[in-house]
Each structure stands twice: as C-alpha cells, then as structure tokens.
Amino acid sequence: MAAQSEYVFAGKLSDLKSSRKQRVTVSDRVLALFYANGQVYALDHFCYHTGGPLSLGDIEDSHGRMCIICPWHKHSITLDTGESLYTAIDPFNPRNIKHNCSKGVKQRTHSVRIEGDDILVKLSDVTEKVFESDRYFTEEYKVFMENV
Ligand code: FES
C-alpha cells in the first residue's frame, strides 16, 4: 500500500462522541477511532498482540495515560502514542509497584484533524513495516490467512 499524503473523511464527530469507539476503513487500512477527554485518536484496529479488535475494548485512564484495553488479553495501549503499558512489581518487595512502564510503541497511530463535524484521518507512512500492528496489513499475512 502506498503512503497516503492527504487527510480523508473517516466519520462524523457527533457519532464518535456517542459511541466513543468506531471501526473504520481508510484507504484499505482498518482503523479504530476513539473519543476520550475531548480528543479523537486513530490507531490500527487489530491489536499488535494477536489481532484483537480494539474498537470493542474499553477506554481507561491508566494513571494519567488514556488507553484502550484490548478485549482479548487486556493489554493496555496508549491512545496518543500506541505504546503498550504494563505494571512492574518487584517480587522482592511487592509494595514496590511501578505503573505505566512502556514496552515501546507497538500499535501504529495515525493523524487526525477535525473540520466541523467531520473526522479526517491521514495514515502515517505505512510503506515500511516498523510496528507490530503492521503485520496484519502485509501480503504475507493475507497469504497465511488464506491458507489457514
Ligand atoms: Fe490484544 Fe492479545 S490480542 S492483548
């Protein structure tokens, strides 16, 4: 898929404010749109872990970071950056808990612009597969799924 250089219509803000989560397709890429804290976010729809449908997850505030919780295995993914977060617990001192530790960016995010009631999305440069969520949009994955 070629890089998309323009913003394209992806949905109505009024609809997203009601549902808070939507699955949409932009230029053959399946995305999840989220509305949280007055902001709209666009991420790849299929969870980097094993392909869970993020638009069916719950939006949660994780110690100050807005996240989508994947409905399949409950991984926590930040809406703004696509980082996967975890809570670290020191086994020698279980009271020593560190929230919001990052595994790095796993889920690709895309740019959003609002014009009136229109949500416009510009895909980030998907020509290079650099994030784990990219795997669901490769030819290898399509061939694999056709042969399962
Ligand atoms: Fe999302 Fe496993 S598929 S956490």
As for the ipTM of the complex, it is: 0.99
Ordered structural domains, the chain, with CATH? 8-146 (2.102.10.10)
Atom of ligand 1 nearest to the CA of 50: 3
Residue 44 has pLDDT above 90, yes or no: yes
Question: Under DSSP, is residue 50 helix (H, G, I), strand (E, B) or coil?
Answer: coil
Report the amino acid identity of residue 62.
S
Site of tokens 């001192």: 93
57 lines ligand 1 (CB under 6 A): no
What residues contact residue 10 under an 8 Å CB cut-off, 6+ apart?
24, 26, 31, 33, 42, 119, 120, 121
Q: What does the pLDDT read at residue 145?
A: 84
Residue nearest to atom 4 of ligand 1 (CA): 73
| Phi, psi at 104, each rounded to 5° | 100, 175
The strand pair at 93-105 and 83-90 is best described as antiparallel
Residue 1 has pLDDT above 80, yes or no: no
67 lines ligand 1 (CB under 6 A): no
- CA 58 to mean position of chain CA atoms: 12
Site of tokens 């042969």: 147
